[in-house]
Amino acid sequence: MKISAKAAPTTIGLDIAKNVFQVHAVDDAGQVVLRRKLSRGEVLRFFEAQPKTLVGIEACGTGHYWAREIAALGHEVASHGYHHELVYTLTPTQFREDVRRAKQAIEDAAGCVVRGYRAPSFTVTKASLWALDVLIEEGHEYDASIFPIHHDRYGMPGAPRHPHLIDRAAGRIVEVPGSTVRLMGANLPIAGGGYFRLLPYAWTRWGIHHVNQNDRQPVTFYLHPWEIDPAQPRFEVSRATALRHYTGLGATRARLSRLMTDFRFHSISSMLALHTATTRSQAPGLVYAR
Ligand SMILES: [Zn+2]
């Protein structure tokens, strides 16, 4: 297998699939010097025979590109899983596969170590606490999946409201719960997402101030990229789902800018380092919970 003698390829693009691989090579001038279909068995032999050159291979869609770009800006890139399945609908084996695949994909793409995980829809609940063991075994240092509120799909209302350590059979993990305000005996969410889009901005601002000043604790805030995209395609969904997903999309970007000027934010990893340093020097450290 030789590329035509007329020009040496300087870039080879490899389109990967299951059985058939498409090769597309260009020279310095950008002229196509080869287009070829290879079977799986031919791929390595083909590249062995080529001069050393740049090889472009598709990876995990746009995910890799964005992960690298975002990591380069100094943000922490953590994991929200691969397929966005509710944890309590998975077996531990399925969950492990999903968690491992996501961590690996992000680390390969961003060149960073993934320390944190948040379950789709906060679905680490009483029924799926085993997920913490899987996360520890798969190398995660913190989890942000246990929301200490009442909700129809998730939540553990009795769980601690602030970052704490959890000891499990597999080891120890830091839990960084979605933030809440304790009001009249209930935990009310101020952590972002739908709560940020659906409720007035003043609620989030008041709540964050309250937690910072009364509880002397940091606040965890989250938002999906789609929540600042009013141009996203709309699906035929139930009224309740439409309310949860499509309300406030147009206003969220401006709200987010306001939040960024009203408060200072850190990545969770740096916050945990700060948090541990402060509390250790002042005494108690992170609280333990089971
Ligand atoms: Zn999500």
Model confidence at 225: pLDDT above 80: yes
Give the Å distance between the CA of 224 and the centre of ligand 1. Answer: 7
Cα–Cα nearest to 224, from 10, 24, 81 = 81
Residue range 162-194, pLDDT digits in tens: 999 999 999 999 999 999 999 999 999 998 988
Q: What is the pLDDT of residue 33?
A: 85
**Are 96 and 131 in contact, with CB atoms under 8 Å apart?**
no
Percentage with pLDDT > 90 across the chain: 45
Amino acid at 161: R
Residue range 261-289, pLDDT digits in tens: 999 988 888 888 865 554 443 333 455 44
Q: DSSP secondary-structure letter at 169?
A: T
Q: CB neighbours (10 Å) of residue 203?
A: 16
Please give the structure tokens belonging to residue 149.
């509120």
Query: Binning pLDDT at 50, 70 and 90, where does residue 290 land?
Result: very low
Give the Å distance between the CA of 81 and the centre of ligand 1. Answer: 9
d(CA 65, CA 67): 6
Q: What is the pLDDT of residue 280?
A: 42
Q: What is the pLDDT of residue 241?
A: 84
Percentage with pLDDT > 70 across the chain: 81
**Are 23 and 14 in contact, with CB atoms under 8 Å apart?**
yes
Query: Binning pLDDT at 50, 70 and 90, where does residue 254 land?
Result: very high
Residue range 6-43, pLDDT digits in tens: 567 777 766 666 567 787 888 877 788 888 888 877 87
Please give the structure tokens belonging to residue 125.
């609940």
Cross-strand pairs, 38: 21
d(CA 210, CA 146): 21
Query: Binning pLDDT at 50, 70 and 90, where does residue 138 land?
Result: very high
Give the Å distance between the CA of 214 and the centre of ligand 1. Answer: 29
Phi (first) and psi of residue 287, to 5 degrees: -75, 145
- What is the arithmetic mean of pLDDT over 61-87? 74
Ion ligand 1 — residues with CB < 5 Å: 120
Please give the structure tokens belonging to residue 216.
């002397």
Give the Å distance between the CA of 225 and the centre of ligand 1. Answer: 10
Please give the structure tokens belonging to residue 207.
């709540």
Q: Which domains does the chain have, with CATH numbers?
A: 11-57 (no CATH), 63-289 (3.20.110.20)
Give the Å distance between the CA of 219 and the centre of ligand 1. Answer: 19
Give the Å distance between the CA of 88 and the centre of ligand 1. Answer: 15
Look-up of token digits 């541990």 = 276
Give the Å distance between the CA of 80 and the centre of ligand 1. Answer: 7
Give the Å distance between the CA of 84 and the centre of ligand 1. Answer: 6
Is the pTM here over 0.95, yes or no?
no
Give the Å distance between the CA of 121 and the centre of ligand 1. Answer: 6
